[in-house]
Structures are given as structure tokens and as C-alpha cells.
Structure 1
Amino acid sequence: MKRRDFIQLAGMGAGALMLPVSSLANTITAEELLVPGLDVSQKKRLADVGLNTARSNGATYADVRIGRYLNQFVITRENKVQSVRNTESYGVGIRVIANGTWGFAATNEVTPDGIKKATERAVTIAKANSKFQKEPVKLAAEKGYGEVSWKTPIQKNGFEVPIKEKADLLLNANAKAMEKGANFINSIMFLVNEQKYFASTEGSYIDQDIHRTWPNFQVTMIDKASGQFKTRSAFSAPVGMGYEYLDGKAQDKIQGPGGITLYNKSYDIVEDATFAAEQAKQMISAKSVEPGKYDLVLEPSHLWLTIHESVGHPLELDRVLGYEANYAGTSFATLDKLQSKTFQYGSKAVNFVADKVQPGSLGAVGYDDEGVKTKQWDLVKDGILVNYQAIRDQVHILGQGESHGCCYSQSWRDVQFQRMANVSLQPGKTQLTPDQMIAGVEKGIYIVKDGSFSIDQQRYNFQFGGVLFFEIKNGKIAGMLKDVAYQSNTQEFWNSCAQVCDERDYRMNGAFNDGKGQPAQSNAVSHGSATARFNGVNVINTGRTL
């Protein structure tokens, strides 16, 4: 393999490798992705084996998760299909409380005997760990829901679409970018189906069928004369939808400031790849930014990552309590700030909600992975910190009696724990479009799409880049910029938020591969917002060297 080929394939493949595919996943055929798994009655009988075994061995609580996790990757480069992979991971995870202590075990032997042995092992682990447990586990009350089900409301199952059709779509997008002069383009289609069954000793038997879709690409343009190059990634969003997301409906296109085309609810990958090649060329010749203070107008495809890192993560209760310190840091948003009831996380324009029910979002499910019915709740209200994200064995620390419903495991073989919900900035209540917002800015920068970032271990001091940058002068777009990044701290930044566009501009983006925990797990989560304005933010030039 040539070095150039290796670098290009590795760049796209690295993202795929970070996605939640179990190391115990088996490679299967595309046809096998559509083979039905066990029916609900069979799952219930198997789950009852685990629940009854747990009780008879002294557990005071138990839950059983039977999971079938299906994935499909289609990866292309220029005019070639590089890889097609279909995987299945199937097994059972059993979690128990015995002697006031958690125990967990998992098996890929989905039989009565396999589940019985794994459950006995989970109880043994809990009893062994209880010797070191200082306080017994305190679970918030949760009613049993009986036999219920929930499905992602998809219109078209991506697994039913022939691989050739998906490959042809990606190759067509590649070809359009190459016609516009792109030197390289990698594209990928990633489809996920989680078939999850949850049962607990509290009387819940919950069957869920969850779908996610993510089309993506990277277009690279090289200026041979100068040796400079720029890469523009797709304006797609990973979504909790079916293949209908790729329909590219005209009504779902948004003409943004600076003449760019953005997408909402559906996506046109061929059109976007064409625009990407043209914009990557413009990025090379763009004017390098002058460092200084600017008013920033941040588009939702960019702002989602800033929300994720500076709001979503620091408001996870386990991070606040220091449980994540060894792997991914703690949080500046400590309990005393919540207890004060006056901590100004942001300006009065800032309202953040956590949400596990939002249609089309990556995190949307009917019930979380410990059987709690999902919901929406406030995190920051009119700028004031009012809550965190917490699960059943945490909420008592907050003096609350009800789980927030944000417990998740990436697979049957991993224990479930507190994960980020969809965390979104609510749109403004006054009618305001991005163009109207820009009209009020004298010296500013309009930023589209997320780029590189850095944030400290308390999720406080940070730096964010982007993909497309447009200079704003006297209320008008004055051309493209490059080498832009902004620096701030979380509280200062969100308190500088002066305006948020109304709900007509609200869009979601997100991450398929949000990492957390030891052993590490991956979570899919969306973040929504409308375009927002931040006044007097420090901007640096990333292209200048000392």
C-alpha cells in the first residue's frame, strides 16, 4: 500500500474504529442483518431464568439485558469501494444487587444454562465486592412497566437497501467532488440497529428496536503551487432515523448566510460533496484572520460540539463527583454551585435541556438501560444551573427521588452506567433569523461546522476551531476567513451569549462515538440549537507560528 493511500484510508477508517462495535462481533452477510431474532416470548422466558436465579441466590434486585447489535459499514474512496462490513454481536448482560453491592456478568451463550451460570457469577461478584462496600447501593424507586415495546419511528430500514445502491450513492458523491477538482474524497455509510430486551425483578419486560444512520465524507483539495491543502467534511448529521434521511428533500435545505447550503431532517450527500469541493478550494485562498475580540455567530453544525464539551460533559453527575477523574476529567460545575441556586452558568438567553425522547435524535429511546421511562428535564434555566444528569443510584445525592433516565450500555457485555443525554440549547422566543442576527454585528465571524478542539480536565478552559469561517463587517458577510479558533472558559463564554435565533432555525447534530468510562464505552448523542451570537470572544490565528 502506498503511503498516500494508507493515510487517506486510515483517516476515514479511524472514525469507524472508534464506533461502538463489540470486539465479540461476528462478521455476517447483509442478508443475515434482516433475519429476525428471538421473539418477545422467548426473550421473556430467558430473562426469567436470570431473574429467578438471582433471587434464589440472595440478590435483592436484578436486571437482564438481552442484546442483538447489528452494524453495517460501506466505505469508499474516489472511484473504489474500499470496504463493506456487516457485524452482529449477541449476548446477555446480568446486573444484580446482593449484600447492598452491585455485581455484573455477561455471556454470549444465550441459553437457559448460559444465563443461569452468568447470573450466579454476577451474584458471587456482588457478594465478594460487598466486603469493600462502605455504603449500600440506594436505588431510586421505579415502577415495573409490564410488557411494553418501543421502536425508532423509521420510514425505511437501511439494511433493506441493497449494498450496491448505497455504494453507488457514495461513489456518485465522490465523482461529483472529483469533477469539481477535489484531489481526494473518502465517504462512508454507517448503519446501526440495536435490538434490546430489558427485564427486571421490579416487573418490567421492555423490548426496543433502535436505528441510527450516519453518512459522512471528507473532501481534500490541494493547491500544488503553494503546497497548501484544505479538507471539508460533510454537512450531514448522525441521526436516529432510517435511510429516509438520505432522501435529500428540497424543503429540508436551508440557504444560510454566506451562500452556503445546510440540511435539516434529510440530507443530499451528492449535492453536499459538490459544494464541499468548491468550498475547500475557496478555503485555501481565504484571508487569514487577524487575532482579536470578535462577536461570534455560531451555526448549529458548529455549536453542537461546544455544547457537548462545555455543557453536556460537565453536567454529568458522576463527573461532578470525580468518578471520571482517572480517564476524562472532572467538572468545574460542583455540587455547591447547584445548591446555591444562583450560579450563573450563562446569560438569561441560555436555556439547556437534557432530553432522551427527542424525535430523530441519536439518544432517543423509550426506556433507558435500567428500565426507566425516558423524559426531558432542565439543566440550565434562564442562565442558572438547576440540575445534572443522574441515574437511579445517584439521584439520592441530589436529594431527588426519581432517575433522569439516562443510563446506557454500548453492548450486552458492558455494564450500564450514567451517560450523556441529548443536551440542547433552546431556541430564542423572539423571532430572529441568522441574517437578521448578522445584520446587527459590526465586527464578527460566522462559523459553520465543528473542527478541532481542546478543553481542560474540569471542562472549563477551552479552544474550538471550525470548518468554514466568514468575516462579518458592518452587518454583512465580507468574505471567507481561515486559521480561526476561539478561546474562552465555559462560564465566560455562555454568559457572553446575547441572542439565539428562533425555532425555525433549530437543528441537531451530534456524535456517534462519545467516549467515557473504564473500560471505555461509546455512546451516541445529539445536541440541538439554533444559530447563536456570542459577544467579545477572543479569536486567535492558528496558522501563525512563533
Structure 2
Amino acid sequence: MKRKDFLYLTGMGFGATMLSRIPVFGSPIQHNGILNGADTALKKKMADVALNAARSKGATYTDVRIGRYLNQYVVTRENKVENLVDTESFGMGIRVIANGCWGFAATDKLDDDSIAKAAAMAVAIAKENSRIQTEPVQLAPQKGYGEVSWKTPIEKNGFEVPMKEKTDLLLSVNDAAMKGGANYVNSIIFLVNEQKYFASTEGSYIDQDIHRIWPIFAITKIDDKTGNFETRQSLSAPRGMGYEYLEPRESDKIHGVTTRYRDRYDMLEDAKAGAPQAAEKIKAKSVEAGKYDLVLDPSHLWLTIHESVGHPSELDRVLGYEANFAGTSFLTLDKWKSGKFNFGSKNVNIVADKTQPGSLGAVGYDDEGVESKKWDIIKDGILVNYQAIRDQAHIIGLKESQGCCYADSWSDVQFQRMPNISLQPGKAPLSPDDMIKNVEKGIYIVGDSSFSIDQQRYNFQFSGQLYYEIKNGKIVGMLNDVAYQSNTQEFWNSCAAVCDKNDYRLGGSFFDGKGQPEQVSAVSHGSSTALFKGVNVINTKRKI
């Protein structure tokens, strides 16, 4: 979608910081037609047309993805509803192997003749590719599952919630922020429903219904005397849940410097806290550069995990096959083969998991028809594995795919995408309050903000939303202009402690970009609050 169309759909007054975070996909549709889905029997019939047509043209393997992708955007600013948008994208992607090479074609015309033509085109492309490819594709073995289904275990379908209920919530959020002293506030509820049907010549017919939600706001506070301003983004995390995510229970609360929630999100309470915190940021003292112990909240640490662990452990980056948007990787095969590469301290255990309930990456099966699973990436600080799909598995001696293949649309070919990558909680009982009590000179960082990392995912810089100075085991006030610098190996080796499972929370990205043309995927990163010793902090000198 062109940028001018995006601006129109999301509302011109929406704000540059949030515009860049939520792109619009698909074509606008009427809200009352958004829940009309295709019959499973019809999807199977269409898939069989593609499978048979590809086989008749010489394909030795074929998979078919029929996708209906629904997005809903509810956009507000201050006391106004800026926009209500429903979009839909519907079609079929056909991937084949012929003469040992991949071919792919897609169509949004789903009559038998158009499907057969698309299948023939995919085979023709594969055969043409074989003229220059030197080695045939090697697929890891995969059993067929027959006819199976999977659905995100939601309690309330956000698309079925009346629009007035959603706009009333956002306007109440805005009102709370304005009453708390905000000068401007934007808020959004973004809903996604992927209705995906997969079929392959190996005998799988998989029907999946996947739901995701992201509530977000941005508060701006201006100092009347100086003209300086600060912002405070919401501390929500996008989740693989239904609308129940916005209906918090008392049991979900975790209390701290700022109100936090484990499995539900109180958007209204976050907005009430956000406006005074934005005002406090304006008056906060500028940090003195130096070495600090960092206490990193999960709302911040997820992004550091994503950039410094998630991307460099993607096998296609390790091999140099992929470099767009995130570069290659310093975690080369020789480090893995040694079996003793010291990625981090013994407190660092990183797990990939496509099965985790409530996470953005949770599905029953990936876009190659592989059942979701969980595996170790870093074990007791040592690099032990990567992220691999069917045609990569043999490279690192795997007998099967790890089930992390994904395409963001029926019209795009699927490829290796990051599963949920998470730091595991510490085993010993430890709360954030107890962790802070043992810090003499430190900074407690909450929320994510800007980052910079090199093309091998090694040297980096990160900043956050809120910074609190720690002296002699106590939080003594807010700081500003904070960013920390390190390299991946040094940083993760400085991890001195991780709080226990009672503090574990998910952060994540709805729009992790990769490939060219770009595709985006949704991925969560969980952790408990973690302590990193002696990290270099700089003053970003943003204040005039």
C-alpha cells in the first residue's frame, strides 16, 4: 500500500511515531462483511485442484496456502475518533519443487482454471530456476497429518466486539491522559485474524484460525515554561489473544515503579500513569555517563533479545543467504560446531517456542505444514542451536524442520522467520524489588524505544521509555537521556541474575521486517526482569 493511502486510512493527525509502527495491509471492506469465511470443504477442493495441476506439469512436491487475512484499525486522537478501518486480503499461494528447484506463483482468482494456471506457472518458474541452480533442494522428511485444525484459544473475538465498545475504551484512555496533564494523546486498537488453509502432496490439510491484538497509545507532554516536551508510549505488549486481553483481572497485576500486567492489560490505568510520567521525564536529571548495573524490565528487554539473539540465530543469516533489514550474523557455524561458544553467562538460557499460549508466534503448524515445537538456542550460556526450516535442516544435521516457516500473505512465498525467542526465568526465588536491593549504582529501565545494531548483530545501543536511578539498593528518582552500549557477547556475559517465573512477561513485535520484497511477521519475546553488571551508559544529550 502506498504511503498516501496509509496516511488516509490511519488518519492524518495520528502522529509520526505511531504511523511508522502500524502499516495497513489489504483492501478496505465493509465491517458487516468481515466475518464471512470460506467453507473448509471448498478450500480443500481448491487446494486439490492446485496439487493435481502442479503434479501433472512435473512437480515432485507441492504445497498450497489459501489465506484470508483480516485487519481492523480503530484510531482515535484526544476526544475524536480519527478512523475505523477494516481490510481484507484473500487468495492462494502455490509453491512447488520441479527439477530440484523451488517455484512459486499466487492468484486471487480462485476458479479452477485460474488455480491450474497459477500451479503451471509455479512449475515453469521452478524449471527455469533449475537452469542456474547447482544443487537440488533437500527437504527434511515431514509426515502428512490428514485433515486437522488449530485455533488461537481466544475467549472473545475482537472483531465481534461492537465498535462503540472499542471507541469508548480508547476515548476514555485519551480522556484519562488529558486529565492527567497530557497535551496530546493518540490511541489505537489493532486486530488481526489470519484464516489459513495449508495442503501438501504429503497428505496434510490444515485449517488454522489465528488471532492477534495490539492496543497502543502515545502521550505527549509539553512544558509551558521551556517548550521542552517528552512522550510516553503505552507499556502494552501485542499478544496472540482475543479481546479478553483488554479485560484485566486483579490476579494479573504485578506492582512496581509502574503498573504492569502479566497476561492482561489495563490500558486505562496505564494511561493514567503515563501522563504524570511524561511530565516527570521533562524535569528528570540528565544521566551522568559511566558504568552502571542495569535492571531491565521485560517491557524493555524483549527488544534487546529480539535484535541481539533472535536475528543472529536465524540460520539463513548465519549462512549469508539473507541480509536484508537485519544483516547477517556473528554466530557463524564454526562457533556452533565447537559446542563451547560462550554466548553469555550461565544465567542465560534462551528458548525458541512456537507453542507458547498468548504469544504472537503461537500457531499449531507453520507455513510448511510442520507442527509447532520448542527448542534451545542458548543453554547455560552456550550456543547450541539455530532456527531452521525444511530446506535448511540438513545443513546443521537436523532430521526434521523446527517449524518456523512463515509468509505474511498468501501472495508471498514462505521462508524462515523468527519463532518466539525468550530468556528463561531464574530458578531461585527472586523478585525485581529484591534484585534492586542488591544494586549499589544502577539504572532500572522500563519500556522500549530506539536502538541501533551493526550488520552482524554484535555492537549495539538501546534506549527505553522510563529510567530510574538506583543508589545503594533504592530507587531515588527518574533519569533522562539514557542509552546503553555494548556488544552482544559482552552484554549477555554480564547477566548476573534473572528474576523467577512470577515476574515472567511477554513483549514483542507485530511487524518484524525481513526479506526483499519485505515481509513482516509477529513474534513475542518473554523474560523476567534481569540484572546486567557494569554496562556502559552514555548521555544522549537530547535536552537543549
Counterpart in the other structure of 1:116: 116
Q: How does 1:315-464 map to 2 (within 5 A)?
A: 315-464=313-462
Q: Distance in 2 between matches of 1:190 and 1:123?
A: 38
Distance 1:327 1:435 in 2: 37
Shift of 1:369: 0.1
Distance 1:251 1:125 in 2: 55
Shift of 1:194: 0.2
Q: Is the 8 A contact 1:76 1:167 kept in 2?
A: yes
Aligned partner of residue 73 in structure 2, secondary structure: strand
Partner residue of 1:26? 27
- TM-score, normalising length: structure 2: 0.97
Distance 1:408 1:326, change over 3 A: closer
Q: TM-score when scaled to structure 1?
A: 0.96
- Matched residue, 2:483: 485
What's the CA shift for 1:29? 1.5
Partner of 2:3 in structure 1?
Answer: none
Match of 1:13 in 2: 19
Uncovered stretches (5+) of structure 2, i.e. residues with no partner: 1-10
Counterpart residue number, 1:511: 509
C-alpha distance 312-442 of structure 1, shift in aligned 2 (>3 A): same
Q: Distance in 2 between matches of 1:281 and 1:455?
A: 30
Amino acid at match of 2:137: V
In the TM superposition, what are the counterparts of 1:106-505 in structure 2 within 5 Å? 106-256=106-256, 258=257, 260-505=258-503
- 2:44 is matched with 44
The 1:249/1:450 distance shift into structure 2, 3 A limit, reads: same
Q: What amino acid is the match of 1:412? A: W
**What SS does structure 1 have at the residue aligned with 2:22?**
helix
SS of alignment partner, residue 168 of structure 1: helix
* Conservation of the 8 A alpha-carbon contact between 2:188 and 2:216: yes
Separation in structure 1 between the aligned mates of residue 99 and residue 290 of structure 2, nearest angstrom:
59
Give per-residue Cα distances to partners, 1:69-122, cap 9 Å, x unaligned: 001001111011111110110000000000000000000011211111100000
1:9 shift after superposition: 3.2
Which SS does the other structure have where 1:16 is aligned? coil
Cα distance in 2 between the residues matched to 1:316 and 1:7: 38
Shift of 1:492: 0.2
RMSD of aligned alpha carbons: 1.2
Contact 1:78 1:185 in 2 (8 A): yes
Q: Deviations over 1:489-521 (max 9, x none)?
A: 000000000000000000001000000001100
> What amino acid sits opposite 1:274 in the alignment?
K
Equivalences, count: 534
Task: Please give the secondary structure, in 1, of the residue aligned with 2:165.
Answer: helix
Q: Distance in 2 between matches of 1:210 and 1:369?
A: 13
Q: State the Cα distance separating 1:325 from its structure 2 match.
A: 2.4
Alpha-carbon deviation of 1:543? Answer: 1.5
**Residues 86 and 6 of structure 1, relative CA distance in 2, 3 Å threshold:** closer
Shift of 1:327: 4.4
Provide, for residues 23-62 of structure 1, a one-character-per-residue CA deviation record: whole Å limited to 9, x for no partner. Answer: xx22111111122x22111111110111111111110000
Q: Is the 8 A contact 1:188 1:215 kept in 2?
A: yes
Quick one: which amino acid aligns to residue 30 of structure 2?
T
Stretches of structure 1 that go unaligned for 5 or more consecutive residues are none
SS in 1 for 2:134: coil
Q: State the one-letter code of the partner of 1:171.
A: L
Are residues 72 and 346 of structure 1, via their aligned partners in 2, closer, same or farther at CA, if it must alter by over 3 Å?
same
Among 532, 539, 542, which residue is 2:540 paired with?
Answer: 542
CA offsets, 1:348-387, max 9 Å, x none?
Answer: 0000000100000000000000000010000000000000
Partner Cα separation in structure 2 for residue 447 and residue 327 of structure 1: 26
How many angstroms does 1:175 deviate by?
A: 0.5
Distance verdict in 2 for CA 1:381–1:106, change over 3 Å: same
Distance 1:325 1:13, change over 3 A: closer
**How far apart are the structure 1 equivalents of 2:270 and 2:306?**
25
CA distance in 1, matches of 2:431, 2:181: 34
Distance in 2, matches of 1:284 and 1:102, equals 55
* Cα distance in 2 for residues equivalent to 1:406 and 1:73: 27
Residue 443 of structure 2 contacts residue 467 of structure 2 at CA under 8 Å; is this kept in 1? Answer: yes
d(CA) in 2 for partners of 1:13 and 1:353?
Answer: 32
How far apart are residue 544 of structure 1 and its match? 6.1
Partner secondary structure for residue 493 of structure 1: helix
Letter aligned with residue 15 of structure 1:
R
Query: What amino acid maps onto 1:361 in structure 2?
Result: S
Give every structure 1 segment of 4 or more consecutive aligned residues whose post-TM-superposition deviation is greater than 4 Å: 5-8
Amino acid at match of 1:440: N
**Contact 1:345–1:385 at 8 Å: present in 2 too?**
yes
Distance in 2 of aligned mates of 1:544 and 1:69: 41
Distance 1:544 1:304 in 2: 24
Work out the percentage of aligned pairs sharing the same amino acid: 69
- AA of the residue aligned to 2:240: G
Q: Is the 1:78–1:178 Cα contact (8 Å) retained in structure 2? A: yes
Q: Shift in Å at residue 15 of structure 1? A: 1.9
C-alpha distance after superposition, 1:218-276 (max 9, x if no partner): 000000211211100111110000000000222212111x3x11111111111111110
Report how far residue 163 of structure 1 moved.
1.0
Q: How far apart are 1:6 and its partner, in Å? A: 5.3
Following the alignment from structure 2 to structure 1, what is the Cα–Cα distance between the partners of residues 18 and 497?
36
**Is the contact between residue 235 and residue 263 of structure 1 (CA under 8 Å) also seen in structure 2?**
no
Q: Distance in 2 between matches of 1:57 and 1:68?
A: 27
Query: Given residue 48 of structure 1, which amino acid in structure 2 is its aligned partner?
Result: D
SS in 1 for 2:288: coil
> Any idea what SS the aligned residue of 2:327 has?
coil
Q: Is the 8 A contact 1:60 1:98 kept in 2?
A: yes
Q: Residues 131-154 of structure 1: CA distance to partner in whole angstroms, max 9, x if unpaired?
A: 011100000000000000000000
- Counterpart CA distance in 2 for 1:302 and 1:11 is 18
Instruction: Indicate the SS of the match to 1:34.
Output: coil
Q: 1:11 Cα deviation (Å)?
A: 3.2
Structure 1 partner of 2:6: none
1:328 positional shift: 2.9
